[in-house]
């Protein structure tokens, strides 16, 4: 299975029960033999995410994702197959085996990635050593001026870049090429010369949830004109829109104590200041607009997010779309207003942890913040400004699903503009509502796509894969499928039967190629408690009959084409006799 021994993979799955693993990310409730919860991969109000304990697979009737425990970890933790296997092996305390790669290209990619990670690790150690040396006195003075303790510096692995040349020299001494340094993001190239990308800065590493250094951020410590903060460039292991700074520590806090919310700030050093003051549920965005990937990362930790940006009005306005993305993914978003001209670090130093937490208590819901932005955009003292404010405010208020909240917000607009409440209410209800997409609570086996033959093929295979007793009455060899994916699944079932081992549906997620995963998801969707309410045995044999009729029809088409082209009288008689026989068989089945 993708380079791993079958015995190891069996042990990995046996010791990582899918219900236990998914239960760490999704609140599951048992209904019948399956477990149900709200899908972690898309926003939904009705639980349509099903986990099958006996088959060890999941399926969502909303977004139609499905997979085994490895697929789930790949998706939820944004890992490739190998890293997901390693994640589960560490969870179950199983030693990783030596992987035998069939594909030399994959082997080479793994090797390059390992080199890149090693270069990042060595760079982190180099920066830390610099900060502790006499030459790092200026950087250390800056850290002390920011009131960072020695314990905090160690906690975050902070270090110093002394110049632009010593890092490349150090990495070369460790056997790294200039190309490897540049691909890791720690070095840049100019006029054929390799230089430290974060030269002469206080440096803080970006560490992922698995404690791997994946990037760095540098803070200018002098009064120069260069950009105050810069990050290393995006690489194969560092994509800004798919990570947060301090995710490693956030994960530890969640596992050790639990958290009820996450605070997002802009600056890495704001995170450090808040952490040192005792506010530990904090991360920093990576200097870009928030993305769906980041929203899904946060969903693994909490349902409530506080946004604490220190930007000016223009920056806050530009950040709205990112906040909407968080809301669209089902997160409750609140916006923290800081005193004018202050960032989180300033607040902590001036008012302490208590003062900062008081600001959190007064945070505004996203919809109120959006109204505030609209108010500051238009001058309600002018006729045109007031009209534009009302128009845009009404559109925002319409987004609220709560009539009570809508009325409260309309009163704010009334007080700002002097327009009567009744007029604003008429304006609100005159806006045509967008049709809401809802997920049906009742799920049936017909939640599928394809023609009659495809539907029949899926149900027949599902019956064998989910070990239905009636499927044992018919040798699968007697069933003819007309698509490669169905025949591959048929071969898997036959192999299990010949070897005397139990068919395990979750095995197919590793055995089948990616192009067949959609079909596998559709088959997965057939095994639910709701689908047991009809006569499955009768339907199974009806599906077998459907495939037999389909095969006869295909054979008849081929014989008809051959009969039409044939000029030899004797051969035409033979074809005609075969066609008559097939027609007789078909009529008996109809």
Which runs of consecutive H residues, i.e. helices, occur in 481-535?
A: 484-499, 508-511, 517-524
Give pLDDT, residue 311. Answer: 56
| Cβ atoms of residues 490 and 481 within 8 Å | yes
pLDDT in tens, 543-580: 999 999 988 988 888 888 898 888 888 888 998 898 89
Tell me the CATH number for domain 239-377.
3.40.1360.10
CATH 1.10.3470, domain 452-589, yes or no: no
For range 399-426, the mean pLDDT: 89
Beta bridge partners of 332: 304
Give pLDDT, residue 440. Answer: 37
How many CB atoms sit inside 10 A of residue 260's CB?
9
Give pLDDT, residue 254. Answer: 86
Between CA 356 and CA 352 the distance in angstroms is 6
Q: With bands split at pLDDT 50, 70 and 90, how would you rate the model's confidence at 444?
A: very low
Lowest mean pLDDT among 361-365, 380-384, 464-468, 586-590: 586-590
For range 269-287, the mean pLDDT: 93
What is the separation, in whole angstroms, between the first and last Cα of the chain?
Answer: 43
Give pLDDT, residue 525. Answer: 84
Q: Where in the chain is the domain with CATH 3.40.1360.10?
A: 239-377
pTM exceeds cut of 0.75: no
366: region left, alpha or beta (phi > 0 left; psi from -120 to 50 alpha): alpha
| Cβ atoms of residues 540 and 457 within 8 Å | no
Determine the Cα angle at 495 with ends 490 and 498, to 5°: 125
| Cβ atoms of residues 97 and 57 within 8 Å | no
Q: How is residue 113 annotated by DSSP? A: H
Q: Give every CB contact of residue 56 below 8 A, 6+ residues apart in sequence.
A: 13, 17, 18, 68, 69, 504, 505, 506
Q: Mean pLDDT in the chain?
A: 87
Between CA 165 and CA 183 the distance in angstroms is 17
Q: Where are the beta strands (DSSP E) in 249-384?
A: 262-265, 282-284, 304-308, 332-335, 364-365
| Cβ atoms of residues 411 and 368 within 8 Å | no
pLDDT in tens, 99-156: 655 556 667 777 888 899 999 999 999 999 999 999 999 999 999 999 999 999 999 9
Lowest mean pLDDT among 202-216, 238-252, 430-444: 430-444
pLDDT in tens, 305-361: 999 886 566 566 667 878 888 888 888 999 988 887 788 999 999 999 999 999 999
Q: Where in the chain is the domain with CATH 1.10.860?
A: 452-589
Give pLDDT, residue 554. Answer: 86
Q: Where in the chain is the domain with CATH 3.90.980.10?
A: 105-237
Tell me the CATH number for domain 6-92.
3.90.580.10
Give pLDDT, residue 435. Answer: 45
pLDDT in tens, 161-200: 999 999 999 999 999 999 999 999 999 999 889 999 999 9
pLDDT in tens, 40-95: 887 777 888 999 988 899 999 888 889 999 999 988 877 778 888 989 999 999 99
* Beta-sheet pairing, 282-284 with 262-265: parallel
CATH architecture of 105-237: Alpha-Beta Complex (3.90)
């Amino acid at each position: 299975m993708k380079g791993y021994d079958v015995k190891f993979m069996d042990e990995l799955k046996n010791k990582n029960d899918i219900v236990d693993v998914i239960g760490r990310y999704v609140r599951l409730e048992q209904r019948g033999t399956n477990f149900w919860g709200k899908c972690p991969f898309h926003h939904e109000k009705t639980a349509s995410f099903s986990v099958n304990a006996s088959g060890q697979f999941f399926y969502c009737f909303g977004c139609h994702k499905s997979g085994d425990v490895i697929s789930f970890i790949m998706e939820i933790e944004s890992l490739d197959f190998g890293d997901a296997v390693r994640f589960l092996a560490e969870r179950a305390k199983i030693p990783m085996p030596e992987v035998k790669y069939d594909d030399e290209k994959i082997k080479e990619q793994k090797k390059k990635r390992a080199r890149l990670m090693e270069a990042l690790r060595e760079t982190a150690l180099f920066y830390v050593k610099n900060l502790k040396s006499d030459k790092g006195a200026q950087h250390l003075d800056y850290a002390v001026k920011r009131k960072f303790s020695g314990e905090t510096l160690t906690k975050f692995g902070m270090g110093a870049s002394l110049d632009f040349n010593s890092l490349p020299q150090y990495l070369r001494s460790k056997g790294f090429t200039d190309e490897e340094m540049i691909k890791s993001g720690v070095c840049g190239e100019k006029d054929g010369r390799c230089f430290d990308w974060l030269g002469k800065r206080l440096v803080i590493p970006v560490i992922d949830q698995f404690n791997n250094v994946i990037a760095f951020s540098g803070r200018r410590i002098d009064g120069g004109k260069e950009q105050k903060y810069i990050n290393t460039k995006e690489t194969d292991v560092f994509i800004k829109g798919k990570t947060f700074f301090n995710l490693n520590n956030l994960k530890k806090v969640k596992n050790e104590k639990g958290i009820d919310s996450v605070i997002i700030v802009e600056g890495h050093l704001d995170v450090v200041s808040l952490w040192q003051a005792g506010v530990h549920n904090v991360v920093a965005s990576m200097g870009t607009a928030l993305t769906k990937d980041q929203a899904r990362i946060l969903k693994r930790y909490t349902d409530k997010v506080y946004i604490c940006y220190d930007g000016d009005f223009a920056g806050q306005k530009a950040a709205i779309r990112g906040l909407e993305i968080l809301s669209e993914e089902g997160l409750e978003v609140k916006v923290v207003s800081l005193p004018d001209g202050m960032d989180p670090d300033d607040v902590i130093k001036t008012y302490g942890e208590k003062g900062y937490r008081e600001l959190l208590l007064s945070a505004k819901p996203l919809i109120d913040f959006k109204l505030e932005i609209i108010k500051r955009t238009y001058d309600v003292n002018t006729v045109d400004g007031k009209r534009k404010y009302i128009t845009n405010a009404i559109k925002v208020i319409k987004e609220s699903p709560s009539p009570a909240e809508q009325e409260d917000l309309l009163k704010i607009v009334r007080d700002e503009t002097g327009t009567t409440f009744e007029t604003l209410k008429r304006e609100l209800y005159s806006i045509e509502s967008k049709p809401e997409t809802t997920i049906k609570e009742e799920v049936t086996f017909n939640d599928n796509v394809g023609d009659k033959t495809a539907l029949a093929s899926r149900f027949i295979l599902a019956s064998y894969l989910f070990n239905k007793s009636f499927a044992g009455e018919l040798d699968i060899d007697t069933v003819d499928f007309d698509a490669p994916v169905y025949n591959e699944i048929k071969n898997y079932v036959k192999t299990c039967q010949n070897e005397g081992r139990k068919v395990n549906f979750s095995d197919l997620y590793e055995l089948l190629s990616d192009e067949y995963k959609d079909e596998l998801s559709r088959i997965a969707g057939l095994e639910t408690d709701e689908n047991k309410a009809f006569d499955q045995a009768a339907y199974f044999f009806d599906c077998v009959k459907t495939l037999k009729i389909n095969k006869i029809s295909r054979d008849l088409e081929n014989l008809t084409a051959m009969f039409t082209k044939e000029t030899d009288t004797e051969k035409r008689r033979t074809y005609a006799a075969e066609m008559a026989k097939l027609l007789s068989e078909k009529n008996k089945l109809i």
